């Protein structure tokens, strides 16, 4: 289910936002208050919020097939796709699937997740370590509510296989937190090989969750520049 923040901004380019592992569309809700130049469209995935009773797919490809159907009615104008951490993988595969169906994003923005490879998937510490940031300060009861979605997303993430020959044609921007111990500038630079189009990188103050904690306003300004022009 997709929830546009402000219908009055429907003439602006839309940005479909995929959450990090265990996250939900509501994590992007405040972004819509920071700009009138891009319509922020949080994507609510199965197994959380109003979709809590829906089963979580066990493969990214299955999830993307479902999202394409749900997105189709909103592809009548310019749009971009954003994904943070685990969401970056989903955003990449979503952009690739949409391109094959004739819908080309203005830009794909990936944040806080390097391009995975076969060597890193099984032992990729960054899959689990950022959960400490997600769950920090939350009551135990709330953590237990969030944990099933996080675990389901981990199943998809660890099963995912990226092929170096698999590319999108739209431009890619890679965003990273300058203090991120897992997915900083060097690891994010690998996304340049995932597109036949333009590639750009942007660094922001903060760690793995920089787009939500330390630098949301700076990230929004960058998104407007990347998507809204």
**Which positions are catalytic?**
85, 208
So what's the pLDDT on residue 191? 94
**Sign of the alpha-carbon torsion through 68, 195, 206, 40:** negative
pTM listed for this prediction: 0.89
Cite the DSSP H helix spans in 59-190: 60-71, 86-100, 118-121, 131-135, 140-159, 185-188
Distance of CA 54 to the CA centre of its chain: 20
Q: Ramachandran region of residue 85, left (φ > 0), alpha (ψ -120 to 50) or beta?
A: left
So what's the pLDDT on residue 29? 86
- The pLDDT tens digits for 186-208 are 989 999 999 999 999 999 999 98
pLDDT beyond 90 at 139: no
Count the Cβ atoms, other than its own, within 10 Å of residue 8.
Answer: 10
pLDDT beyond 90 at 137: no
Q: Which residue has the higher pLDDT, 107 or 159?
A: 107
- CA separation for the pair 132, 121 (Å, rounded): 19
- The pLDDT tens digits for 21-42 are 888 888 898 898 899 899 999 9
So what's the pLDDT on residue 140? 63
């Amino acid at each position: 289910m997709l929830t546009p923040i402000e219908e009055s901004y429907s003439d602006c380019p839309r940005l479909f936002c995929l959450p990090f592992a265990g996250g939900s569309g509501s994590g992007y809700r405040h972004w819509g208050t920071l700009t009138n130049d891009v319509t922020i469209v949080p994507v609510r995935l199965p197994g959380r919020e109003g979709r809590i009773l829906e089963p979580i797919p066990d493969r990214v490809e299955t999830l993307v097939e479902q999202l394409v159907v749900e997105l189709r009615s909103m592809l009548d104008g310019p749009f971009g796709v954003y994904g943070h951490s685990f969401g970056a993988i989903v955003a990449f595969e979503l952009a690739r699937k949409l391109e094959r169906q004739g819908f080309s994003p203005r830009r794909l923005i990936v944040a806080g997740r390097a391009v995975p490879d076969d060597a890193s998937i099984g032992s990729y510490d960054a899959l689990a370590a950022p959960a400490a940031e997600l769950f920090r300060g939350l009551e135990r009861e709330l953590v237990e509510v969030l944990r099933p979605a996080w675990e389901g997303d981990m199943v998809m993430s660890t099963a995912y296989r990226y092929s170096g020959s698999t590319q999108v044609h739209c431009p890619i921007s890679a965003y990273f937190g300058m203090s991120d111990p897992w997915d900083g500038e060097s690891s994010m630079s690998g996304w340049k090989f995932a597109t036949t189009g333009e590639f750009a990188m942007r660094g922001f103050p903060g760690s793995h969750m920089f787009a939500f904690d330390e630098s949301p306003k700076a990230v929004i300004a960058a998104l407007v520049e990347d998507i809204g022009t």
